[in-house]
Structure 1
Amino acid sequence: MTSAAPQPRCRLLTDTAVVDLARAGTIVLDSWHLYDGAGVAVDRHRERFTAHVREVFEIGEEESGSAYDHALAHLPVEGSWFPAFVWTTDGLRLLVRPFPVEQLRQSTTLLLLPTRDARKRPDIKGFDFLSQIYAHRQATEAGYDDQVLATAGGSLSETVFATLILARQGELVVPHAPRLDSVTLAVLRERAGRPVRVAPVTASHLLTAPAIFILSALHGVRVVERVNDTSYQPNPQLREALQTALEGARRPIADLLPGGEPPCASC
């Protein structure tokens, strides 16, 4: 009895790191935490990603959306993962990276420097990835987890890889500045049960805030324990409430997959 011939590897799958794809040319990126086959608001990630691909590469949302759905079908259904959907000049590439749950963080430290955000398109995820890697390296080499970015006028926008939120007087304040349209923030706006206000945020606002959080599609909600030499009193109860609200939007990827025949002969 002969064994079946091995199936060819799907062309969307890659082992090339995101930073190397960015070095090769312009990219648009999407990534989020996949846990046991489920993700938070993945439909919104898909919508943002296809809109950015259309703007940067002039590729229709039907084409990029079909590729995204095809990539979703290749994701693991068990375990903790951090998939990266990367649109390149050669189309979509999917990098599936393991991310053990014990590496998920509930707190963080931030570096704040008097330098201007070097990104050209902070509103498009991945467009300035190499600049972000440089800024993140500045933070880690100084002993911090991430860096706060600021405009030329001194307004703060976000961190290198996360949305910045100040908690004060019963509301959440998000900086009014060029930044990524965060899917995680959009979910919390609907589910957090408290007002979310957009307003200018300066270094002074940040350093005198009662509590600070950052949001990302990988770690969710993290408490900021320190900015430069300023320490903050953690608010784990609020962090837990926000994280619980966020987890309420986690849905199985299988619910998003279109039916029908496999989209390519490799699958």
Structure 2
Amino acid sequence: MTEILLLNGEPLHTVTPQLLRATSYAHFSSLQVRDGKVDGLDLHFERLDRSTRELFGRSLEAAQIRAVLQAGLAHTDGNASFRLTVLDTDLLLRIEPPIAPSTTPVRLQPIQHQRALPHLKHTGTFDLIYFGRRAQEAGYDDAVFHTAAGEISEASIWNICFARGPEIVFPAAPILNGIRQQVLQRGLAAYETSPVLVSELASFDAAYLTNSIDPALPVAAIGEVTYAPHPESVRTIAAAYASQAAQPI
């Protein structure tokens, strides 16, 4: 499958300057589609509507989103990577081949930074790419952000969570509450949201990154703090996801 673009459900063969300009003030959601289903699809609908209300002052109905996704699904075998970008009244859907989750634990460089309007999944990603590159130049795989007070918040394109025994802890600092993170939280019998300080990272048994592609990518190290494989939290997270069925488009 090559990349396909649909604008409001119709194939888009050329991109106009006006459309390019519009992408600088927009929000989006990334979806991994498997057998025509998406994890947390209702959560995508809710976030896309809420963000559209905040950015453009209007609602975005689930039926309109679903129609565009269904049009995109017709160009696939039921398996794909979707990125749906909301450009005020227009919906731009990018369709690419499905992406398999990563399996290699990652090393993260802690960097003091906070995204602008962190609760929004907006198209302002310059800083994420910049700090990710800086981390790689320093010998890490990517960056993880913390506040001026030393509270871990999120990684460049992931949420992050931590484990103490079977207990899963999510940072309390301002973040984008990612869809995959919300699916995980739905499936957990209990979890904690509290400040996670850089100075206290060694008190945890493990850390994991979550996004639409990676449900629980193990973290090998954050700065000088290293984490060994931790089967107990792996089982807890796997059971939580297994309890949440994917939803058909």
Q: TM-score, normalised by structure 1?
A: 0.77
1:157: which partner in 2?
A: 153
What is the aligned length?
237
2:125: which partner in 1?
A: 129
Aligned residue for 2:72, secondary structure, equals coil
* Contact 1:165-1:173 within 8 A present in 2 as well: yes
1:188: which partner in 2?
A: 184
- Cα–Cα, structure 1 residues 127 and 70, in superposed 2: closer, same or farther, change >3 Å? same
For residues 28-82 of structure 1, the C-alpha deviation after alignment (integer angstroms, 9 at most, x for no partner) is 01012211211111111111111011101112233xx343112211233636422
For residues 169-204 of structure 1, the C-alpha deviation after alignment (integer angstroms, 9 at most, x for no partner) is 4311111111012222222223233x2111111112
1:6: which partner in 2?
A: none
* Contact 2:41-2:247 within 8 A present in 1 as well: no
- Cα–Cα, structure 1 residues 223 and 153, in superposed 2: closer, same or farther, change >3 Å? same
Gaps of 5+ in 2: none
The letter of the residue matching 1:32 is: L
2:226 matches 1:226: no
- The CA distance in 1 between the partners of 2:229 and 2:192, in whole Å, is 21
- The CA distance in 1 between the partners of 2:54 and 2:124, in whole Å, is 15
Distance apart, 1:221 and its partner CA: 1.2
2:144: which partner in 1?
A: 148
- The CA distance in 2 between the partners of 1:81 and 1:144, in whole Å, is 29
1:113: which partner in 2?
A: 110
For residues 190-248 of structure 1, the C-alpha deviation after alignment (integer angstroms, 9 at most, x for no partner) is 3233x211111111222442111111121111111122343211124532542353244
2:162 matches 1:166: yes
- The CA distance in 2 between the partners of 1:207 and 1:244, in whole Å, is 25
Please list every run of at least 4 consecutive aligned residues from structure 1 whose deviation after the TM superposition is greater than 6 angstroms.
Answer: none
* Contact 1:110-1:139 within 8 A present in 2 as well: no
Deviates more, 1:148-157 or 1:230-239: 230-239
Q: TM-score, normalised by structure 2?
A: 0.82
Gaps of 5+ in 1: 1-8, 255-267
The letter of the residue matching 1:42 is: L
For residues 107-152 of structure 1, the C-alpha deviation after alignment (integer angstroms, 9 at most, x for no partner) is 43232334322x2111001253222222222233334333111123
What is the RMSD computed on CA atoms of the aligned residues? 2.7
Query: Which structure has the bigger radius of gyration?
Result: 1
